[in-house]
Structure 1
Amino acid sequence: MTEVVYTQRQKISPFYRQLLAVSGVVLYMIGTGANIAFPGVLLQQLREPDTAVQLTEEHESWIASILGLCLISGILVAPFGLQRLGRRLTNQLSTLPAMGGWALLAVAKDPGVLLASRALQGFGMGVQAACAPVSIAEYSSPEHRGAFLATIAFSFATGMFTAHVFGTILYWRTAALACGSFYALSLILISLTPETPPFLASKGSYSECRRSFRWLRGNTDKSERELEVLLNSEQNKVVNTKADESKLKMYRKIIKKPEFYKPTFIMMFMFILFQISGMTVVPSYTVPMMNEVTGGSIKPYTSMLIVDAVRFATAIFACFITDKFGRRTVLFFGIIVTVVSLLITSLLLYLRDFGFIPNDYKWIPVIPTLMYIFGKTSGILPIPWAIAGEIFPLAYRSIGSGISGMFLSIMFFVVVKTAPTSFRSIGVSGTFCIYGIFTAVCGGFLYFLLPETKGKTLYEIECYFKGIGDNNGKVKSESVKMLEVENVEGG
């Protein structure tokens, strides 16, 4: 009775409470976008003759790519934090190495310190890469989950744009402090929100789960039904857990379950697609890339800010279309636009190199390049993060996010580290052609693997991967009812 009175006195709607809960994670991801994009301006400033830190080409490639290696260490730690410490505390702790990295970067006087600062940022990013989609999905109601998960894409784009603006108008040390401030704001907002209801339920804290759930969702009939399904499901799992089962035996069982290996396989392809489309290469090497694309007809910093502006505007657009249309529709729209744009850009650059395009029109490849930015930002950037937050069952959400995140970090390192060599050996035209082909291949696999998850509860998505749903991810109502009855009896 006390809990009901508590929720009835809420003066702020559930949407705004969910928005507050999500905003701390969003600010963190803005910092992540700044981490990825900062080499684009940092390396440009450090190439000046009177620079404070002298770098070789090898230093430059490591500064841009070391985030990918250190993401691995953060991702390895993340499942432990998510399972033992909870979503909220893991989010809070992940801000500390990120802030430390930016502070160290601001005072760096040699390449080693620069690399150490980037390593700290990468570790924090790794923890958050696993934690962010899980946290946002668990804080959100089904009707708002798509839009909130799409804010990850918006956050990346905002962070990239902000880092490039700061790096254009400020000295790189000052710009580093400005970018690091996002993590301080993130820590404050995360501290104002409760733990996620699914995590509390998984730990048997049912009273706290009810309070958190009703704080986030209110106490409508629909939300109360969803709350009871969540509680009954977790209570049933606790009853059926064998205390004497070894960890090794438990993990062997987990990897054989379709609700674990199918989502993990899908997310592997998702994150390979995310990186092979050039998602992190472009912001890291925007200036040299666009200098070749424009043929020197547009000033480097101007072209960089044009790319950032298109990415930022498209990320806002992506928030709306992800909320209005199905995940599959948005993803494959983005893939098609990306592949076509990359191949057209590659073809135009080849034609220009062989003299088939007059000098007065050497800027023409800029048009499909901007369409490429639009395509990958509208579909390939938001949907993998949206799916990552939805697709794993609660029991395996931490470990599943960690395994799929490993592919994200490995591909991050490989693609960003090899990009300078690729640009030198086969040019932007050849690199774009390779990215286009591999993006199409990944898209082909996902066309047959990925179900539709829009509008489904996290419980319904879990049921689908257990084999009780149709090809669009729509769970058979009688099967859900049957499972709910079983869960109630088991609880």
Structure 2
Amino acid sequence: MTEHARQRVPPFMKQLMAVSGVMLYMVGTGANIAYPGVLLQQLRQPDSVLKLNEEHESWIASILGLALIVGILVAPFSLQKLGRRLTNQLSTLPTMGGWALMVAARGPTALLISRTLQGFGMGLQAAAAPVSIAEYSAPKHRGAFLATIAFSFALGMLVAHTLGTLLFWRSAGIAIGSFYVMSLILITLSPETPPYLASVGKFDECRKAFRWFRGYNPASEKELEILLNSQKQQKNEIKVTRYRHYRTVILKPEFYKPTLIMMFMFVLFQVSGMTVVPSYTVPMMKEVTGGAIEDYTSMLMVDILRFATAVLSCFVVNRLNRRTVLFSGVIMTIVSLLLTALLLYLRDLDYIPEEYKWIPVIPTLAYIFGKTLGILPIPWTIAGEVFPLAYRSLGSGVTGLILSLMFFVVVKTAPTSFREIGINGTFCVYAFCTGVCGSFLYFLLPETKGKTLYEIECHFKGIECEMTKVDGTESDKMLELVKVEVDKDDGE
């Protein structure tokens, strides 16, 4: 078999297929977060056969955060022992079960159980998604592929709100649940990630999977050999220091530095209102517009802007430095939140004429644009890049726990915050918290764009990277090596 025949399907398309399985899951995750925005609106109607009180409503919106914690706690074990592929497959099962129960629910208890199942699956996937996508991807595509997490979130929110506007909530639930079925199919068709196979000593399988995803070329072969050699060395070191290894992990800069960065990243993600807005879009926009725009119209306006911005972010993240995108989004978010709060305050004091009471909508949409462009994609992009392979499962679990806790706290307290200090006061709190997290990240976050995962690992270890440019005679030698490996594989 010739090298050309082996690459009949371009490596990019194979990477895209594998990433698409995770993307479809994240579409479902975005829909899970946004679904209460339409579910609760429909259940408040006088003819609804399923009645909820205010406490039920806040728990239905926020219980995902508590369930996420359980999934996140299981995720490190699952990612390390079962692998990325099987973890992704297993994460679809509770979410599909949750949506099935949601569709059949006859009371608040069933709704809460269904949301708990969805949250557990989301917890597994929250840790697995950035790791899996980063390990599927070539360095030149990694930024764009990781940015698809943000795109998928935004698409899921748009899908949930659109379906919930057009369909009965049970019918909308069936449609959303189908995304997990498609996700499971694509994940099953994709191989395990090469870095995971290398980390567990399956080096021959790693070579096959790596070449399935990346094809045959000198640069990728160089990266493959460095991956294999680094993991062989790592395994030898772990055998020597097996009992002391886990006690010393927390003190290693390649673990605690990325962990600290991701903690601030995920706190920033939540305190910027990332999950509050889709969960409470209708009441929030009703206050912002002053009733000048119909509720569902304003909700879909926010969703369409968020989706369009998420599409734009896929290109921006792949072309601009990660730091540039993140801090541009942080600045836009803070300025827009404070300006919206100021205009709402002035409107309450009757300084804004009645015909212009919709004016706060403008900075609010700028806020949606800023946080979706920078604060939504970058944390997930960085999450897939900064942890060394040896600690990737553990690091993703620890930082995912922070994400889950903040999800629950921010979403659960939002109705009380809206009621006690108003939308304008809540926006001021979010702006302050966003500024604090952004300030810490300004000094902590390195630039990762265009670097291999091994190069990023070397940065945090403080050592010189072995990756060198392959050219000239070295390229010829590498091509000869590839041909030998190809012939060997053909013989087998």
- The TM-score bracket by the shorter chain reads over 0.9
Structure 1 CA distance for aligned equivalents of residues 466 and 214 of structure 2:
25
Tell me, yes or no, if structure 1 residue 122 matches structure 2 residue 107.
Answer: no
Tell me, yes or no, if structure 1 residue 108 matches structure 2 residue 105.
Answer: yes
Tell me, yes or no, if structure 1 residue 12 matches structure 2 residue 9.
Answer: yes
Aligned residue type for 1:213: F
Structure 2 partner of 1:483: none
The answer to whether the Cα contact below 8 Å between 2:238 and 2:245 also exists between their aligned partners in 1 is no
Structure 1 CA distance for aligned equivalents of residues 308 and 242 of structure 2:
52
Helix, strand or coil for the counterpart of 1:241? helix
Aligned residue type for 1:424: R
Structure 1 CA distance for aligned equivalents of residues 377 and 11 of structure 2:
24
The answer to whether the Cα contact below 8 Å between 2:292 and 2:357 also exists between their aligned partners in 1 is yes
Structure 2 CA distance for aligned equivalents of residues 244 and 257 of structure 1:
14
Structure 2 partner of 1:368: 363
Tell me, yes or no, if structure 1 residue 76 matches structure 2 residue 73.
Answer: yes
Structure 2 CA distance for aligned equivalents of residues 381 and 134 of structure 1:
17
The TM-score with structure 2 as length reference comes to 0.94
Tell me, yes or no, if structure 1 residue 63 matches structure 2 residue 66.
Answer: no
Structure 1 CA distance for aligned equivalents of residues 133 and 390 of structure 2:
17
Aligned residue type for 2:354: N
Structure 2 partner of 1:237: 234
Aligned residue type for 1:127: L
User: Offset of 1:467 from its aligned partner?
Assistant: 1.3
Query: Which string of whole-angstrom CA distances, capped at 9 and with x for unpartnered residues, describes residues 85-137 of structure 1?
Result: 10001000000000000010001011010000000000000000000000000
Structure 2 partner of 1:306: 301
The answer to whether the Cα contact below 8 Å between 1:7 and 1:219 also exists between their aligned partners in 2 is no
Aligned-residue RMSD, C-alpha: 1.2
Helix, strand or coil for the counterpart of 1:109? coil
Aligned residue type for 2:335: V
Out of 222, 226, 234, the position equivalent to 2:223 is 226
Structure 2 partner of 1:172: 169
Aligned residue type for 2:348: D
Structure 2 CA distance for aligned equivalents of residues 375 and 107 of structure 1:
38
Relative distance call for 1:277 and 1:244 in structure 2 (3 A) is: closer
Relative distance call for 1:84 and 1:7 in structure 2 (3 A) is: farther
User: Offset of 1:244 from its aligned partner?
Assistant: 7.0
The answer to whether the Cα contact below 8 Å between 2:223 and 2:467 also exists between their aligned partners in 1 is no
Aligned residue type for 1:91: N
Structure 2 partner of 1:51: 48
Structure 2 CA distance for aligned equivalents of residues 269 and 444 of structure 1:
10
Out of 424, 429, 433, the position equivalent to 1:429 is 424
Structure 2 CA distance for aligned equivalents of residues 228 and 185 of structure 1:
34
The TM-score with structure 1 as length reference comes to 0.94
Query: Which string of whole-angstrom CA distances, capped at 9 and with x for unpartnered residues, describes residues 364-389 of structure 1?
Result: 00000000000000000000000000
Structure 2 CA distance for aligned equivalents of residues 195 and 243 of structure 1:
28
Tell me, yes or no, if structure 1 residue 442 matches structure 2 residue 431.
Answer: no
User: Offset of 1:251 from its aligned partner?
Assistant: 2.0
Query: Which string of whole-angstrom CA distances, capped at 9 and with x for unpartnered residues, describes residues 295-317 of structure 1?
Result: 00000000000000000000000
User: Offset of 1:245 from its aligned partner?
Assistant: 3.0
User: Offset of 1:352 from its aligned partner?
Assistant: 0.2
Tell me, yes or no, if structure 1 residue 409 matches structure 2 residue 404.
Answer: yes
Structure 1 partner of 2:93: 96
Structure 1 CA distance for aligned equivalents of residues 215 and 467 of structure 2:
25
Structure 2 partner of 1:152: 149
Tell me, yes or no, if structure 1 residue 192 matches structure 2 residue 173.
Answer: no
Structure 2 CA distance for aligned equivalents of residues 245 and 397 of structure 1:
18
The answer to whether the Cα contact below 8 Å between 1:468 and 1:476 also exists between their aligned partners in 2 is no
User: Offset of 1:240 from its aligned partner?
Assistant: 1.9
Structure 2 CA distance for aligned equivalents of residues 8 and 198 of structure 1:
25
Structure 1 partner of 2:486: none
Runs ≥4 residues deviating over 3 A = 5-8, 475-478
Unaligned runs of 5+ in 1: 470-474, 479-491
The answer to whether the Cα contact below 8 Å between 1:63 and 1:118 also exists between their aligned partners in 2 is yes
Relative distance call for 1:172 and 1:477 in structure 2 (3 A) is: closer
Relative distance call for 1:64 and 1:365 in structure 2 (3 A) is: same
User: Offset of 1:339 from its aligned partner?
Assistant: 0.5
User: Offset of 1:239 from its aligned partner?
Assistant: 1.8
Structure 2 partner of 1:487: none
Helix, strand or coil for the counterpart of 1:48? coil
Count of aligned pairs between the two proteins: 468
User: Offset of 1:52 from its aligned partner?
Assistant: 1.8
Tell me, yes or no, if structure 1 residue 341 matches structure 2 residue 313.
Answer: no
Structure 2 partner of 1:485: none
Residue identity (%): 70
Structure 1 CA distance for aligned equivalents of residues 175 and 131 of structure 2:
28
Helix, strand or coil for the counterpart of 2:242? coil
User: Offset of 1:7 from its aligned partner?
Assistant: 7.2
The answer to whether the Cα contact below 8 Å between 1:66 and 1:119 also exists between their aligned partners in 2 is yes
Query: Which string of whole-angstrom CA distances, capped at 9 and with x for unpartnered residues, describes residues 41-71 of structure 1?
Result: 0000000111121101000000000000000
Query: Which string of whole-angstrom CA distances, capped at 9 and with x for unpartnered residues, describes residues 151-210 of structure 1?
Result: 000000000000000000000011011101000000000011000000000111111100
